[in-house]
Amino acid sequence: MRRRAFIAALGGAVLATPALAQERRRISILHSGFPNLTPIHLLFEALRALGYENDRSATIELLGADGDADRLNTLVAQLSTQKPDLIIALTSPAVLALKQSGMATPIVFLFVPDPVGLGIVGSLAHPGGNFTGVTYSEAALGAKRLELLVDALPDAKRVAVLWGPQFAENAALLKSIRGSASARGIEVFSRELRGIEDLASAFDDAVRAGAQAVILVTDNVMFGYRKEVAEAALAHHLPSIHSYPPEVRDGGLMSYGPDLTESYRRAAALADRILKGARPADLPVEEPTRFALVINLQTAKAFGLAVPQSLLARADEVIE
């Protein structure tokens, strides 16, 4: 009896072991830009920490559309045929393409500033359908970035905003920046930025408009050219503020936005809950709790700029 009980207990332990009990899940990651030029490893690390390791406990496919709308649609059609267990979609174009396809696969999104306004979910609290994810209010952050840029450059009276027209939510961000600028007596020069081939011309136009600094509204394509953006800003002597820390580590002056590590971890946690049986419709869309201000003092020195100590004291990371 004791031997039988031991074997039964051992059998139960084996069945309870996640690696043996759980079938290998298929996860597809869809990015409308260049995922390998982003810190996508943070998402893989977050998934691995939850037991989803590529080619071992899970099959994880990374798909990038390289900023090409036709390629994005081809990848969405491919996913419709493959039917993975779950899709993690990064950036608004990728999520909208999946939404328009009518795919029933559970989808966790990331880097989508206004999922309600874009028609992705019914509300943040009650998404409905097969989409949920992690969002943030880019519009509110636009005003905050202007405020921080002016704190670094208190004499600035005219600021350029360079933004990609392919993101519908950028209109709200620009409106927020204009409102904050008006309250501070600052003029805004708005310029659409249509890709890397338009970068030099956009900065030339900002200089001709009398801008003294730049707010760069990062999109999924320009994020991959962040070194080139930083070089253009320096060449035109226009200190810049960006959305994400990698842009500053690669030469931008400042950034302010959601903590990327937290965002990736929370997206992975939502994916885990869905793969374990939860319905996306029942999982509220989450908002960031941590935001990071990063300042590059090497870049400030190259601009001949003395960043106020009061601003440095508020920074989460200072690159020296």
Instruction: Mark whether 300 and 177 lie in a shared domain.
Output: yes
Query: Would you say residue 80 lies in a domain?
Result: yes
Query: Would you say residue 28 lies in a domain?
Result: yes
Instruction: Mark whether 267 and 128 lie in a shared domain.
Output: yes
Query: In whole angstroms, what is the distance from residue 103 CA to residue 280 CA?
Result: 13
Instruction: Mark whether 193 and 251 lie in a shared domain.
Output: yes
Query: Would you say residue 18 lies in a domain?
Result: no
Q: What is the pLDDT along the chain (320 residues), one digit of tens a residue?
A: 444 444 444 444 444 444 334 578 999 999 998 899 889 999 999 999 999 999 999 999 999 999 899 999 999 999 999 999 999 999 999 999 999 999 999 999 999 988 998 999 999 999 999 999 999 776 778 899 999 999 999 999 999 999 887 777 777 888 889 999 999 999 999 999 988 899 999 999 999 999 999 999 887 778 888 999 999 999 999 999 999 899 999 999 999 998 889 999 999 999 999 999 999 999 999 998 889 999 999 999 999 999 999 999 999 999 99
Scanning 245-292, the segments in alpha helix (DSSP H) are 245-249, 260-275
Instruction: Mark whether 284 and 229 lie in a shared domain.
Output: no
User: Taking the model in full, what pTM does it have?
Assistant: 0.83
Domain hosting residue 283, numbered range:
23-135+260-289
Instruction: Mark whether 92 and 154 lie in a shared domain.
Output: no
What is the CATH classification number for the domain harbouring 126? 3.40.50.2300
Instruction: Mark whether 186 and 146 lie in a shared domain.
Output: yes
Query: In whole angstroms, what is the distance from residue 320 CA to residue 298 CA?
Result: 6
Query: Would you say residue 102 lies in a domain?
Result: yes
Instruction: Mark whether 215 and 172 lie in a shared domain.
Output: yes
The pair of three-digit structure tokens given for residue 291, joined into one six-digit string: 């935001």
The number of folded domains in the chain is 2
Instruction: Mark whether 120 and 248 lie in a shared domain.
Output: no
Instruction: Mark whether 160 and 92 lie in a shared domain.
Output: no
Instruction: Mark whether 308 and 193 lie in a shared domain.
Output: yes
| CB contact at 8 A, 113 and 139 | yes
Instruction: Tell me which residue of 109, 117, 89, 88 sits closest to 32, measured CA to CA.
Output: 89
